């Protein structure tokens, strides 16, 4: 779980540095980027350990989108 903490710190640092120089980033954007980064890291970690065999992230994201629209 150490990689999750470092991912969070990296996303927050990047957000702060960008927000200091522009008004583009918003809290929602940062949260969305963080979720995608964590999901991507989890998928890569699972693939590296062989646990994610057969896991299709695109299908997972489509299911999440469908559930939110209900």
CA distance 24 to 29: 9
* Residue spans of the chain under pLDDT 50: none
Contact 31, 39 (CB under 8 A): no
Backbone CA torsion sign across 20, 22, 23, 25: negative
pLDDT of residue 49: 62
pLDDT of residue 69: 83
């Amino acid at each position: 779980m150490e990689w999750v903490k470092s991912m969070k710190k990296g996303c927050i640092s990047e957000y702060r540095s960008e927000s200091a120089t522009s008004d583009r980033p918003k809290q929602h954007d940062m949260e969305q980027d963080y979720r995608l980064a964590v999901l991507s890291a989890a998928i890569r970690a699972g693939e590296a350990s062989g646990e994610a065999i057969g896991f299709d992230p695109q299908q997972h994201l489509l299911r999440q989108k469908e559930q939110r629209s209900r």
